[in-house]
Amino acid sequence: MDASLALQYAIIAVAVAVSAWVVLKKQFPGPLRKLRGALALPLLREGNAGWRRRLGRWIAPPASGSDAACGGCNSCGPNKKA
């Protein structure tokens, strides 16, 4: 295989992976959060190497804020008068 053809395939693979990630984040945020948590949990266990723990922290979903009781869209809380 030519080097240029291999480079072309690599660029297309990266573009497809980025596109799939964007679709997952926008269309399926709940299942994606669960998947990220499931992937990160084994890496964050005590006794793992430092690089594995850093990778687990990078993969782990961000902590949900405590703005509302459910941590959701913040549209069900009490109305604040301005």
AA identity, residue 22 = V
Please state the pTM of the whole predicted model.
0.57
Q: What three-state secondary structure class fits 71?
A: coil
Sign of the Cα torsion 27, 22, 17, 61 reads negative
CB 60 within 8 Å of CB 40: yes
Q: Note down pLDDT in tens along the chain; length 82 residues.
A: 799 999 999 999 999 999 999 998 899 988 889 989 999 999 888 888 889 899 899 988 888 765 555 555 656 656 666 5
- Tell me what pLDDT residue 77 has: 58
Alpha carbon distance 76, 74 (integer Å)? 6
